[in-house]
Amino acid sequence: MRTALTDALTQLPDALQRVVSDWITDTNFGATFSPEQVAKMEVESGLSGAALRLTLLPIAAAYAVTPISTFNVGAIVRGEDGTLYLGANIEFTGVQLGQTIHAEQCAISHAWTKGATRLTDITINYSPCGHCRQFMNELNGAESLTVQLPKMVPKLLHAYLPDSFGPADLGVESRLLTDEPHQLLTDDIDIPLLKAAADAANLSHAPYSGNYSGAAVETNDGAFFSGMYAENAAFNPSLPPLQVALIATNMAGYRWEEIRSVALVEMANSTVSHLADTQATLDAIDPDIPLVYSTLSA
């Protein structure tokens, strides 16, 4: 268990600590709380809804990886079924700052990799930057997404992003979290890690470039974590597939030094490519991590 999580537990009210400590210290804890766990926390702590989520933010922020800023941001998104997904900001030394993952992106992508298709609200310990407001505007249900901050009344996302620019402005109907499989030809891939990356590419959100792409991380104990490319109408807030795979890895409790290998799959002859940035980020994490690369055709 991470020391940061132990420290975060001490920031919770005693009644809530007693409820969550066994869950969080379990080696299989996946940085999520089921609807049943949420209900138990509400009963035992006397906190409900937004009050509970705000109180849990230190647990989310404990997953931050911030070697540059040392400024930890936590975020919690709630799925339609009531599941809570945690997220935190992640930074990488040795590469340009654009490779950084914001806490909101982390929580949203965490929910996406675990099958969520619509989020009702997001709770954050600091006001979301413009980058994250634009990223959230790509979501299925963005128009009804509620943003909750400490000591603030809840507001809809579009109160923070008035006169927004989004997919509809570019004639795009698909939304992040709800893309249908792209029917990519992946059945003949016989390398398991590469197949995991290809399967992620098949679920990616890339309506602007068409570069359906995915990444997969293998850890030293043989676990696989996949990530799908999350493209954005404003282009720059797009989240590369490696970052989404690293989010899944981090939120499962693994550290970068436990990564054995990585795979990247993207479309052949695309107008954009993740290869150079993926390799640069991996080199910054550990130049000895091998990258398996392949392209797909529609």
Classify burial at 50, counting beta carbons within 10 Å of its beta carbon; exposed 0-12, middle 13-18, buried 19 or more. middle
- Chain CA centroid to CA 202, Å: 18
Long-range Cβ contact pairs of 125-131 (< 8 A, separation 24 or more): 125/57, 125/60, 125/61, 125/73, 125/74, 125/75, 125/149, 125/150, 126/73, 127/160, 128/102, 128/104, 128/160, 129/102, 130/161, 131/102, 131/236, 131/237
Respond yes or no: is residue 104 known to be catalytic: yes
Residue 111: phi, psi to the nearest 5?
A: -65, -40
**Tokens describing residue 118:** 């619509």
- Residue identified by tokens 């043989």 is 222
State whether residue 291 is helix, strand or coil: strand
For the chain, strand residue ranges (E) read 32-33, 74-79, 84-88, 119-124, 146-148, 155-156, 214-219, 224-228, 259-267, 291-296
Q: Is 200 left (phi over 0), alpha (psi -120 to 50) or beta?
A: alpha
Which residue in 104, 138, 218, 231 is the catalytic one?
A: 104
What are the catalytic residues?
A: 104
